Structure 1
Amino acid sequence: MTDVSATTFTDDSPGTPGTHGLCSISPVRGSSPVPATLDVTDFGAAPGSRSDAAPAVAAALRAAGAVAGPVVLRFPPGDYHFWPDGAQRRELYVSNTVGDDSRYREKTIAVLVEGVDDLVISGEGARILLHGLQTTFAVIDSRRVSVEGLEFDFAVPTVVDATVVDGGVEAGRAYRVIRVPEVTLFSVEGRSIRWHGEALGSGAVAWEGRDALEYTQIHDPSGHRTRRGPNPLFDDVWSIKAVGDREIRIDYDRSEEPADLGVVYQMRLTTRDHPGALVLDSSGVTLSGLRFRFLHGFGVVAQASRDVTIEDCEFRSPPGSGRHTAGFADFVQFSGCSGVAAVRECLFDGPHDDPINVHGTYLRIADQPNRRTLVLEYAHPETAGLPQFSPGDLIEIVERETLQAIATATVERVRQPSGRDRTHPLRSIVLTVGSELPGDLTARAAVENVTRTPAVHIARNVFRNVPTRAVLVTTRRPVVIEDNRFERPGMAAIYVSGDAGEWWESGPVRDLIVRGNEFVEPGGPAVFVDPRNARADSAYPVHRGVVVERNRFVLRDVPALDAKSTQGIRFRDNSIVRSGPEAWDVVLRSCTDADIDEPTLRVTELG
């Protein structure tokens, strides 16, 4: 087992060339050249103006790309407005978004870095304010790019945060008064509320929906918890009226007094039409000191990229704004990456899904024309159109029900979607490997690209107001999760899964260290190792090498560790404080070779 530290974190995996020519980072010998400096205002961007900054910034980035050598592109302090009408657009297919739905194939991108090496975008004191539905920035086909100091927000966020500020019973009818943030746009139409985005150049609004929209989560500021649950705001409505610029009174055809004063109902639609930000087919990308006040769509996605670092970033709505939601879904996702995926010294506060998710993608074997050829398909409707393989990549074939390896092989040829167009079918991939495979793999097996799996370092972050898990990770390379603080996540704080039947997020864990963290009242097991294998046999574990050490657990009625189908667990030097009813401290299901060193712990073994 590898003891990986922050100062020696390396990955010995081969380079991941990718479909669009990734390459690994080479050390620079001798003295580094002095970077050229460009300023977006020299190209027409005007901080403080509501005019569209997108054309000027695009011109500045083209100029930066034309410089031979390193470049610093500066955003002086101030607000920069980006409107979708003149933004750059690219056809892109992104993991866990809208799959192959042709309505959303084009992504609107506010700041696009494409095919540029050795670039620093610096913007301390600058705020990028997006209008409509857009990706904040994308780094595509680039190497050694840093984005530093910028703040990103939306003029009209696509989540409605409605706070109950009053309630009671009058004339036999219950009522609530809800308050929404200043930036939230709405109109009362009879007994219904229409929420909407801004009117754009075409005259149409960017988005719209009614009442509870399609999804709600519930934030309790006094209890410092956020959870998923039903929305009672629009049940049995008798009347609705605006009672101020930001307040709405809802009267009901019932008499039970509401008991949710101070609660915030966070409502949104469910279509993840854009990534919030995107790092695609790139290497050596660092996001540092950024402030994400709101991300529409699917968070910051690093896809098919190598050596991506996110550090000292803040994912949190603007304090004092009445807003509590900073993300439409996940905050950060690494999909099919390699090298080292690092997230350090960040604040994650107020997502609508998991703050960090690191995974690969299992593809279902749909057909096997011969012993060296496989027809693969994307099985989950939210993921399609991505290239998954390059010649020379190592693949592993697993039994779907057990997640046990059947065979490994090297990719020889591949016909697959490009991720950039619709030239090839978006849901299928034809793979030819260099050696014969077992027969009868159709339907019962799935394929993972072993080459595109990263080492992971998640350190010194804070997680707050999370309705789901805080960290999901499935990768076979070394993982260290250390010195983080997990405050009351709605589910498990750390979740290790892997499945070939639901989300199809791939990867067995082989070397995971969870150390020096503080877990405060998670809603599920603090550390939950739960592969979704339908048939578990302790003689054939899915995961291996999980070490949980020197952590502090403050728990109610959940275990510190709940593990299934895992070999070689080590649980040592941890502190557990309970404030609720008695519960098992460690739960082991179909696990072998476990070493639980605290004799006073309540431990149960199942299966």
Structure 2
Amino acid sequence: MLSMTKYGCEPGHSTVTPARLRGWGAGVIVFGLGAALAAGAMPAIANEVNAPTVATPWAAGTALPATGLSSQTVGFHANQPVALDQAALPKHAANRVIVDVTTFGADPTGVKDSAKAVNDAILHAKSLHKPTTILFPCGVYSMYPENAPKRELYVSNTVGADPNYKTKSIGLLIEDMEDVIVEGMGSQLTFHGSQTEFANIRSTDVTIQNLDTDWYAAGTLDLPVVGSGVADGFGYRDIQVPVGVNVAINGATATFNGENSPATGLPYWTHAPSGATGGHNQTRDLATGQTLRTGVQLWNNSRAVTDLGNGVYRVSYNNAADPGGTGKAYEIRKTTRDTPGGLIWESQRTALKNMKLHYLHGFGIVGQFSKDVALDAITLRTDFGTGRQTAAFADFIQMSGIAGKVQITNSLFDNPHDDPINIHGTYVEVKAVDRAAKTVTLQYMHNETAGFPQFYAGDELRFVKKATMLPEGATTFKVASVDGPTGKDSTKNLTQMTVTLDGELPTNLAASQFVAENLTYTPEVYIAGNTFQSVPTRGILVTTPREVLIERNVFDQMGMASIYISADAASWYESSGVDNVNIRNNVFDRPSTGSATIFVDPTNSQSEAGKAVHHGINIAGNRFSVLPGGQLVSAKSVSGLDFTANTVNHYAPTNPVSVSSSKALFNFSSSADIDIAGNTYEKGFNLRANTSGMDAAEVRGTPDAIVNNGDNITPLGNPASPLATGMGWVREDVSKWTAVDKNTVTLKAGSSGLWATQNAAVNILRQNAPLVGDATMVVKMSGATASQYEEAGLILYSDDDNYVALQRKHANGSPVLALVTETGGSPNENTKVAAPAAADVWLKLVRAGNQYTASYSTDNVTFTTIGTVTNATVTNGKTGILAVGASSANAPFTFTDLLVNTVAQPFFEQVNAPEPAKLVAGLAAPVWTGVQFAAPSSPLAALASVPAATKSVSTKFTAADASTGLQVQFNDKVATAGSGGAYTFNLMPGANVVQVQTMGSDGVSSQTYRWVISRQGALNKPGANLVCAPVVVPTTPPATVPPTTAPPTTVAPTTAPPTLPPVTTAPPTTTSPSVTPPATTAPATVAPSGSVDAETVSAGGELTVTGKNFKPGTTATFTLHSNPVVLGTAVVAADGTVSLTATVPANALAGAHTVVITGTGINGEAAKVSIAVTVAGGTATGEATTAAATTAAAAADDLASTGASGSVVGGLAVALVLGGLVLFWTTRRRAANH
């Protein structure tokens, strides 16, 4: 099978231009189609219906040992991809009609709007009622919403029943069709405005492949900070705005507008300054890759905005401090999920294959009440060079009510604004019960889900009690009838449905106490070979009672749980309980410390003895590389959970081990039958399992030395300076503290904090005994916050949810001194003042009863009061210090002379020099050419900026230990070393990422190094990296091939392709998303002419047509009239001649005809030449001319349709290959001599 990228498009650094497409695009298409047809069919990921039956059924990958799991063996970058279950993929016939979208006016240069032309091509394909391949010749196609098809649709997890968004514009709409392949040939669809990129509705056996998508001006605004500092006495940040975004400066702030609609003249979207502070926004640290949900403090205390050119704007501030932020990307969006990014609804066997989806607007790809959905080799990441970072407005993939099997494989998920994958059903609440009629009234409960059918006649329904989340008895029901939402109109109630069942309703069934779920539409799930990175939320959410296998994935820097299993009838109403989940051979790198890595948390408020919501969860053979404060598993209401044969190590491991964590590795509640055995753990973990609401004996962890409800922290074996009597650590991380003397310690920020549910702050150094009565605490702190959410100071600590602290807080660029109080996990930091400029500050905290007063001094003489708070939960608090908060700067803070009631409290008994810790499986420091890196942002991450003139950088990577293996990635692709072992990286504008992942000889120790090079200068437009280029380039012309093009692969319909209305023939006037044709000098005007090799030709015979004085490198089209039939196309030679040998249709009428050559004259203007010809023989009756007759004729004779049928496939294949090779050679030869 021939990969489409081999004869379509490949990534590069050049823009697709009309000249380039005309110069060799025809050769690409002719050769590619010929090679594919010669192989038997167009490339497809699915089964051919006439292919031999596979003798053995599909089986998942062989289980691997936990040792040796790395980016080379698992995940998106693995050497070997995982295999899909072919039985659940679309089935495609070998004999197919090919419909070329450009025949209908689609523009592969991106200059014109192609939305209507693409839809016309699809409608024509639909009218043929045959297996069809819809072909996009390689290029960039602009897709505007104004002329895209419209449908009233209601989609799960989006806008519910909101009438303001009921009508969706859909760029690529496959509707009520069978056996369709959408073949992109590496093309990119560039979308504008608000649209669903593609939808597959009520269709069967549909594959979309080799087709990339992006947005000219994405609705999420990404603003990379390319510099910060102080100029003219004012701090500033320099932000760079992506192409397609217009900036309106409003004094101290600015408003960002999307491109203008060509229909209304108004922006498609607007981001006002007030929208930046919303907590749903995000900040991505480009150096480390970590993404956090947080308000963007871009406009806090701003004073002016200045346009510096190249899309760079300087925001200056009223204070004289450097606000920081260089290397961060601010990501600002709205909250309304107005349309899904893609939709699969009421369809069977749908597959997406080999696609790069650079941005999904509104929501992700939604599968809704369909059967068998597969996504394979999908890259969900922004395009490098555009400066954008957000790849999805919300989720990436949401499967809501799927039957059959869901397969998500060999894909990359990077930086969405919500969960990458969520697979679930929907609980609808019982609102009324009619026992006599055997009917129930059910209601959608979440405001974002409504309007589509939840049940169909014949489906299996089950009732679940909300309080316990347990099924109501063992009985399920068949649905007899449904009266409710249709999913495509608002004539019925959008939130309620009446369902009639086949049996007597349960006795206990009552309104508002029960929910119903559809068991028919619950899938088997296979998620394998994927990489999830820089995710601020969960990685995978899955709830289905059928088999789930999650294997060979890489999870890196999840902001919440890597895998989350819920069953929710209280908030999102997402079903169901799980019965068979296998999580094996995955890598969990630096998972969140704010949540367990694998989190099982149904919403039941009550439990029943001997019963559980979830069953059968097996976690085996995984590698966990955990940060201090991380937890492996937290599970509620599970019966039967095994945790076996896993390896547990520290992230960025060292020798000797330098990290210790007091967090229990396991937590279970209301669960039973838990086995923990056969795992390996590095030193420094707390081998503890907490239990609640259950018999602790249900957790069997003795083989692993797990202690139920008691600490078992394995010692590090390399004692550092011993603490003074009466002092102790909370979650010690020895890599982040240094003993200076007995009374002085330096702590580094950079870990999670204590705020609300974070509860993972490391190195809280506090007294062991509670502070009694009224008291005064003072400490000197040296050092200022540097970035993000660093915070450091004095604390009275009871536990993670109850404390009072006086802290320096960076507040994401607005530094303050804040008196923080938290009670029962509810924090408040409103008592604060601006942070002083001085690096040294004395912090004082005074307790009087339940009141706490904070003050500070810069000289330890005069103290300034900050304020007073009340907190009754810290009467047993312990005096201490801390430096924490999310940050990549690891800013140090030095604490000296802690006084409690004027009595000095030393930190250390004595100061020892510990053995220095070295990274295991580390790299020798690389020497770079073309770039100089400053101090690392973290031990494993560095950031640098280079001028626009720097096109490439290079280096070598050498493991410190020869037994260490490594994989080098550049911009999320595996890189290969050149001669001598050096790597050369060709830079895009904006951030470029070099990442090296190592694996030690022990098969467990691994490091992830990251270097980010930001290249200055103007950012790229979407699609700029697309280059259409053939792979096969003969060095000499084939001697046996005549210098003409092969017969056409497609034949035009009997009616002309549609003409686009004026509003869509050009992009908006206020922006420039189009590709500009290259300037040319027109030669002297000579009229084109033409001739034929014979004035008379028999029907079914060959005819050679030659044109002269056409523009070299352009494509000419040859059409036989009067009822037009396209004979083919050919590329004009360097001397202005163009020739085509074609077969006259066997059903052509006898008599006089005209051959018309249409193309471009040598003056660059459209040209047309007509040549008379007589057809002898032929049919005795005329061709169909009415619409109905045209369809009938198309069905009867493929030559009357736009497309070559399977009956001519074999005859065209050789000619297509040979003709394509000639076009490749002649075109490349011209290019070489240009």
TM tier, shorter chain? Answer: over 0.9
Q: Corresponding residue for 1:140?
A: 201
Would you say the 8 A contact 1:4–1:478 is kept in 2? no
Deviation of 1:192 after TM superposition, in Å, equals: 2.6
Q: Aligned partners of 1:338, 1:65: CA distance in 2, in Å?
A: 26
Pick aligned residue for 1:393 from 436, 447, 459: 459
Deviation of 1:54 after TM superposition, in Å, equals: 1.4
Aligned partner of residue 664 in structure 2, secondary structure: coil
Pick aligned residue for 1:516 from 585, 590, 596: 585
Equivalences for residues 162-241 of structure 1 within 5 A: 162-170=223-231, 173-200=234-261, 201-211=263-273, 212-213=275-276, 214=278, 215-241=280-306
Aligned partner of residue 62 in structure 1, secondary structure: helix
Q: Aligned partners of 1:122, 1:96: CA distance in 2, in Å?
A: 29
Deviation of 1:241 after TM superposition, in Å, equals: 2.7
Q: Corresponding residue for 2:620?
A: 549
Tell me, yes or no, if structure 1 residue 589 matches structure 2 residue 669: yes
Q: Corresponding residue for 2:479?
A: 411
Would you say the 8 A contact 2:646–2:680 is kept in 1? no
* Deviation string, structure 1 residues 15-63 (Cα, Å, up to 9, x no partner): xxxxxxxxx99989xxx55111121111221210421111211111112
Q: Corresponding residue for 2:60?
A: 5
Structure 2 letter corresponding to 1:562 = S
Structure 2 letter corresponding to 1:486 = F
Deviation of 1:424 after TM superposition, in Å, equals: 0.6
Would you say the 8 A contact 2:646–2:679 is kept in 1? no
Would you say the 8 A contact 2:548–2:580 is kept in 1? yes
Equivalences for residues 231-310 of structure 1 within 5 A: 231-310=296-375
Q: Corresponding residue for 2:869?
A: none
Q: Corresponding residue for 1:493?
A: 562
Aligned partner of residue 124 in structure 2, secondary structure: helix
* Deviation string, structure 1 residues 121-178 (Cα, Å, up to 9, x no partner): 1012211011111111111110000000001011101111112222234565432222
Deviation of 1:10 after TM superposition, in Å, equals: 9.7
Q: Corresponding residue for 2:611?
A: 540
TM normalised by structure 2 equals 0.47
Q: 1:111 to 1:600 in 2, by over 3 A?
A: closer
Q: 1:150 to 1:418 in 2, by over 3 A?
A: same
Q: Aligned partners of 1:525, 1:72: CA distance in 2, in Å?
A: 46
Would you say the 8 A contact 1:180–1:246 is kept in 2? yes
Q: Aligned partners of 2:318, 2:94: CA distance in 1, in Å?
A: 72
Structure 2 letter corresponding to 1:413 = S
Q: Aligned partners of 2:679, 2:558: CA distance in 1, in Å?
A: 28
* Deviation string, structure 1 residues 464-489 (Cα, Å, up to 9, x no partner): 11111111100000000000011111
Q: Corresponding residue for 2:216?
A: 155
Would you say the 8 A contact 1:64–1:71 is kept in 2? yes
Deviation of 1:600 after TM superposition, in Å, equals: 6.6
Tell me, yes or no, if structure 1 residue 319 matches structure 2 residue 388: no
Q: Aligned partners of 2:428, 2:464: CA distance in 1, in Å?
A: 10
Deviation of 1:598 after TM superposition, in Å, equals: 3.3
Deviation of 1:256 after TM superposition, in Å, equals: 4.6
Q: Corresponding residue for 1:604?
A: 689
Pick aligned residue for 1:378 from 422, 426, 444: 444
CA RMSD of aligned residues (A): 2.0
Structure 2 gap ranges (5+): 1-57, 62-82, 652-658, 682-686, 693-1234
Please say which of residues 200-209 and 166-175 is displaced more in the overlay.
166-175
Would you say the 8 A contact 2:588–2:625 is kept in 1? yes
Pick aligned residue for 1:425 from 493, 514, 535: 493
Q: Corresponding residue for 1:18?
A: none
Q: Corresponding residue for 1:19?
A: none
Equivalences for residues 332-481 of structure 1 within 5 A: 332-370=397-435, 372-407=438-473, 408-437=476-505, 438-481=507-550
Q: Aligned partners of 1:262, 1:68: CA distance in 2, in Å?
A: 54
Please say which of residues 176-185 and 566-575 is displaced more in the overlay.
176-185
Q: Aligned partners of 1:598, 1:525: CA distance in 2, in Å?
A: 20
Would you say the 8 A contact 1:514–1:547 is kept in 2? yes
Q: Aligned partners of 2:633, 2:206: CA distance in 1, in Å?
A: 39
Would you say the 8 A contact 1:118–1:145 is kept in 2? yes
* Deviation string, structure 1 residues 507-528 (Cα, Å, up to 9, x no partner): 1010000000000011132211
Deviation of 1:255 after TM superposition, in Å, equals: 4.6
Q: Aligned partners of 1:504, 1:320: CA distance in 2, in Å?
A: 40
Q: Aligned partners of 1:529, 1:80: CA distance in 2, in Å?
A: 44
Q: Aligned partners of 1:205, 1:26: CA distance in 2, in Å?
A: 40
Structure 1 gap ranges (5+): 12-23
Q: Aligned partners of 1:598, 1:25: CA distance in 2, in Å?
A: 38
Would you say the 8 A contact 1:199–1:206 is kept in 2? yes
Structure 2 letter corresponding to 1:419 = G
Pick aligned residue for 2:134 from 73, 81, 91: 73
Structure 1 letter corresponding to 2:60 = S
Tell me, yes or no, if structure 1 residue 130 matches structure 2 residue 130: no
Q: Aligned partners of 2:530, 2:215: CA distance in 1, in Å?
A: 24
Q: Aligned partners of 1:536, 1:519: CA distance in 2, in Å?
A: 31
Would you say the 8 A contact 1:548–1:570 is kept in 2? yes
Q: 1:364 to 1:401 in 2, by over 3 A?
A: same
Q: Aligned partners of 1:526, 1:122: CA distance in 2, in Å?
A: 39
Q: Aligned partners of 2:423, 2:411: CA distance in 1, in Å?
A: 16
Pick aligned residue for 1:46 from 98, 101, 107: 107
Q: 1:586 to 1:310 in 2, by over 3 A?
A: same
Would you say the 8 A contact 2:350–2:372 is kept in 1? yes
Q: Aligned partners of 1:166, 1:222: CA distance in 2, in Å?
A: 14
* Deviation string, structure 1 residues 72-93 (Cα, Å, up to 9, x no partner): 1110111111111111000000
Structure 2 letter corresponding to 1:164 = V
Aligned partner of residue 102 in structure 2, secondary structure: helix
Q: Aligned partners of 1:394, 1:9: CA distance in 2, in Å?
A: 25
Structure 2 letter corresponding to 1:270 = T
Q: 1:238 to 1:455 in 2, by over 3 A?
A: same
Q: Aligned partners of 2:91, 2:298: CA distance in 1, in Å?
A: 58
Deviation of 1:563 after TM superposition, in Å, equals: 1.3
Tell me, yes or no, if structure 1 residue 566 matches structure 2 residue 628: no
Structure 2 letter corresponding to 1:386 = F
Aligned partner of residue 58 in structure 1, secondary structure: helix
Would you say the 8 A contact 2:647–2:680 is kept in 1? no
Q: Corresponding residue for 2:734?
A: none
Equivalences for residues 74-113 of structure 1 within 5 A: 74-113=135-174
Larger radius of gyration: 2
Aligned partner of residue 206 in structure 1, secondary structure: coil
* Deviation string, structure 1 residues 298-320 (Cα, Å, up to 9, x no partner): 11111111001000111010112
TM normalised by structure 1 equals 0.93
Deviation of 1:538 after TM superposition, in Å, equals: 5.9
Would you say the 8 A contact 2:402–2:522 is kept in 1? yes
Aligned partner of residue 257 in structure 1, secondary structure: coil
Deviation of 1:249 after TM superposition, in Å, equals: 1.9
Please say which of residues 248-257 and 446-455 is displaced more in the overlay.
248-257
Aligned partner of residue 66 in structure 1, secondary structure: helix
Structure 2 letter corresponding to 1:456 = V
Please say which of residues 582-591 and 464-473 is displaced more in the overlay.
582-591
